[in-house]
Amino acid sequence: MRFSKLVLAFVFVFISSFTFAQDLNSQTRKFNKLLALIEMTYVDSVDIDELVEVAIIEMLKDMDPHSVYISSEEIEKMKEPLEGSFDGIGIQFRLMEDTLVVVGVISGGPSEKVGLMTGDRIIAVDDENIAGVGIDNAGVAERLRGKKGTQVVVTIKRRNVKKPLEFKIIRDKIPIYSVDASYITENNVGYIKLNRFARSTEEELDSVFQKFENAGVKDIILDLSGNTGGYLDKAVSLCDEFMKEDKLIVYTEGSKMPRTEYKSTDKGRFKKGKLVVIVDEGSASASEIVSGALQDWDRAVIVGRRTFGKGLVQREMMLTDGSAVRLTIARYYTPTGRLIQKPYEEGYDEYSQDIANRFLHGEFSNVDSIQFADSLKFTTLVYKKTVYGGGGIMPDDFVAVDTTLRSDYHVELLRKNILFTFVSKYVDRNRASLSAQYADVQSFKSAFVVDDNLLAELKAEAIEAEINIDSLAKPTPEQDLYLKNHLRSLIAGDIWRNNEFWQIYNEFNPFFKHAESIILDEKLYNSMLKGK
């Protein structure tokens, strides 16, 4: 009897596959005939390869917003942020006044080894002039990146050196870091700013957690605002640091993919202690897995705004010409069964406007503008508080966009890219004295003041850029303070790195201030954790 059932099952699968193959072959022949007719009879000459690519792109777009086609030329570029490295010379640069200025030299990288310095201006690459010719970021990357082991010759102009200097640089693997910042606050709270979940994330975080553990840190603020996601296993590994053993972190399921569960182990170092997670509308995919799991198990207070709502699982599959498709094969669900993915039934165009629509509908400024149907209510697994599904993770503590922080003057400085250019030039001129005066960021924080002279220099730059300052609303005292703090943080970031930028910027960062006020107040923290 059992043998007969197996035979019947096999016959059913074979017939179904045969029928599917017949249908597929029929449609393939139809598509090929159309291409042949276009090529033989269409009134104008056409690029058949381009037509096929357009057809693939539009077909995938009609299925779901995250199934995408990747041309053979794009594959390596798209992998770089998640693989955690690329081949290049190891500099951070900024285009200022049509000139490429080195704003950072990666420690241990090829450029540092030959002696390139922050503030150097690259005027030629392999004898090709790149200064004053309107080069853009893509043009710079095209000339400076290349395969590991290949040579590039750069000519630079260095301050106080009369003649241009020439450097022969051998390209190498350059790391892309996923931890933007990690430091311990004055109240002994660990802070981590994570921008993506890449191949190197687990290793980077292991070093951070070890530093925290050695310093006796118990409580942590995990900042996932703007985190675009990445590898599922790295999100699971991060949750593992905070959750008790054998707890469901996330599961995936699709019509052709069986349910797969991911659970915590006993390896974590911070399974106790207070934990606050910062999220916003830019937090997507893997960052939503982390915040959703920690919220469902009542392990963390989630602070910020509703997350992006990207809960579709893609698998990359190669096509015949070296191109690929990332095809959606399943969906992510939190431990309580909440679907992370937001709706996309109204089509790709409407889906792509979702964040803009949230802003227009007032969701960024007023929590009451967010309405959930009763069918989207779920109950957390420990304290039984109400949480919501239906797309994205809704925080426990809402942080509205503060549109009053930046003055009209501040906005104009940013819009015309004057602030960053001004800071780069200021630090370039004063790097030696700043480095001599401030041994570390702590001494800088306590002693560096944005004085009237510095503000006057900035104002002169703004006027030169044709900003009509008199026509703008007068800044409030709070807005003046915010601009000064932004300047301080940018200067610190230019002298040192991102880590130092965030240590100063967070002093006026509403997300961080909310998170810190909660984590330092035991009663408030427990109340929010339990939904009371």
What does the pLDDT look like over 7-20, one tens digit per residue? 334 334 444 444 44
pLDDT digits (tens, 9 = 90+) for 428-473: 889 889 989 999 999 999 999 999 999 999 999 999 989 999 999 9
Task: Report CA-CA distances (Å) from 62 to 12, 311, 316, 340.
Answer: 30, 17, 18, 20
Catalytic annotation on 296?
yes
101 DSSP β-pair partners: 94, 121
Which of 521, 514, 532 minimizes the C-alpha distance to 274? Answer: 521
Three-state SS for 374-417 is HHHEEECCCCCCEEECCCCCCCCEECCCCCCCCCHHHHHHHHCC
Nearest partner of 371 among 358, 384, 360, judged by Cα: 358
Is residue 44 annotated as a catalytic residue, yes or no? no
Instruction: For helices 201-214 and 232-240, give the axis angle rounded to 10 degrees.
Output: 10
Domain 179-401: assigned CATH number = 3.90.226.10
Q: CA–CA separation, 82 vs 76, rounded Å?
A: 11
| Mean pLDDT of the region 390-413 | 91
Domain coordinates in residue numbering, the chain: 85-175, 179-401, 408-514
CA–CA separation, 236 vs 229, rounded Å?
Answer: 12
Measured in residues, the chain has a length of: 532
CATH superfamily of 85-175: PDZ domain (2.30.42.10)
The active-site residue out of 223, 296, 354, 396 is: 296
Catalytic-residue membership of 264? no
Q: What is the pTM (predicted TM-score) of this model?
A: 0.83
d(CA 519, CA 146): 46
Q: Give pLDDT, residue 224.
A: 97
Q: Per the residue annotation, which of 111, 182, 237, 285 is the catalytic one?
A: 285
Return the pLDDT at 1.
44
Give tens-digit pLDDT for 91-136: 878 777 677 888 777 767 888 878 887 778 899 999 888 888 778 8
The active-site residue out of 120, 310, 407, 428 is: 310
Least confident window among 108-122, 243-257, 354-368: 108-122
